[in-house]
Amino acid sequence: MRWTLDSDQEMFAEAFGEVLDRAATPAKVRGWLDAADPSEFERLLANDGWLAIGVGEEAGGQGGGLLELALAAEQLARRAAPSSAWLATVLALPALGDERSEAAIADGTFAAIAVSVNDPLDRGSDITVTDDALSGTVGLVLGGDRAQLLVVPVGADLYLADASAPGVTVRPRALLDRSRSAADISFEGAVATRLERDAASFLAQAASRAAVLVAADSLGAASRLRELAVEYSTQRTQFGVPIGSFQAMKHAAATMLVGEEASRSLAYYAAESVDKALPEAHLHAAAAKAQVTRAGSQAAESSLTMHGAIGYTWEHDLQLLYKRAKLDVALFGQPERWNERIADALDLVPAG
């Protein structure tokens, strides 16, 4: 099956891409990453209303759904743009309720779910609560260093904490992929507000949404990696001819393109499935996370091989996209963990 976008979705992706082409040039992206300070880009996302995409108008958003968010994630990844604050926020906003969500979007406030990036979001946290005061530590919270609001799952409940409140300590953690960031967050009797939302249902939905958006990010990185590899194969020569004329290079590029197109259909379909709450939406999201990120990792390896020694250099943009694709594999759980979810849901009978 080949998934196609409607005209509005194509226009949205094109418009966002054009904004990023101006605002997130390679030179600017490198500057933000070298300084470890993406605040300029984050302010642009907030001030220009990109936090409102995928959020209903009743909650202060501009409408659209998970597919529009996936298209945005794809475009951000193509440019290796800093996206931890954006991704963490769009995952956390549904927990806040309409009034708080509207205020956060209007103020350009970033949020994050206090769950480790090593685990699927629906695992929850080990934080404890006594009289609405939180205690404990969560390691490697995606965007935790950029968030002003923290959605904290505690058992069956969700709590909202201010990241700057007394008793909250945020320790930034650098990742090999510098276009994303995380933080260890400790609570020592930090006062929080209990949200009127069941933690289990919210986290299950957030896990599926995260799986789709990370898959879309991997798709964007893989797409750009293929373009860079093909472009370079027409420039580099061996034996007096471009290496792109060699059969091995043609096969590698074709394999990357096939993987990219298959990943695009899977990621887009999973986004629609989760948005429409189809009966097997969680399995579609799991398949997207496992298969698309694995294909993205393979595309990164192929692109690096096609570039040869120049691909290993700090000066080449390939290293930014390579690290991005590799982090997507591990982000919110390795493919094996998501494949196990699919296997657990299948009525499998041992052979023979």
Residues in the chain: 352
Assigned token pair, 61: 């958003």
pLDDT value at residue 123: 86
pLDDT value at residue 346: 81
Assigned token pair, 274: 């989760």
Q: Which residue has the tokens 């909202």?
A: 160
Complete DSSP assignment for 83-112:
-HHHHHHHHHGGGTHHHHHHHHHHHT--EE
Runs of H (alpha helix) within the chain: 7-23, 26-35, 39-47, 66-78, 84-92, 97-107, 199-233, 247-275, 281-287, 293-307, 318-330, 335-345
What single DSSP character describes residue 5?
-
pTM for the predicted model, two decimal places: 0.94
- Cα(234)–Cα(238) distance, integer angstroms: 11
For 262, counting Cβ atoms within 10 Å of its Cβ (0-12 exposed, 13-18 middle, 19+ buried), the class is middle
- Cα(193)–Cα(213) distance, integer angstroms: 28
Q: For each successive 10 residues of the chain (352 residues), what is the average pLDDT?
A: 78 95 96 95 91 82 90 98 96 92 90 94 90 94 97 95 97 95 97 94 96 98 94 76 70 88 95 94 97 97 88 89 97 95 82 64
The amino acid present at 9, given as its one-letter code, is Q
- Cα(258)–Cα(262) distance, integer angstroms: 6
- Cα(31)–Cα(11) distance, integer angstroms: 29
Question: Where do the domains of the chain lie, and which CATH numbers do they carry?
Answer: 200-345 (1.20.140.10)
pLDDT value at residue 345: 86
CB 12 within 8 A of CB 150: no
Helix (H, G, I), strand (E, B) or coil at 188: strand
Distance (Å) of CA 306 to CA 13, 164, 315: 28, 47, 17
- Cα(176)–Cα(276) distance, integer angstroms: 35
- Cα(63)–Cα(162) distance, integer angstroms: 27
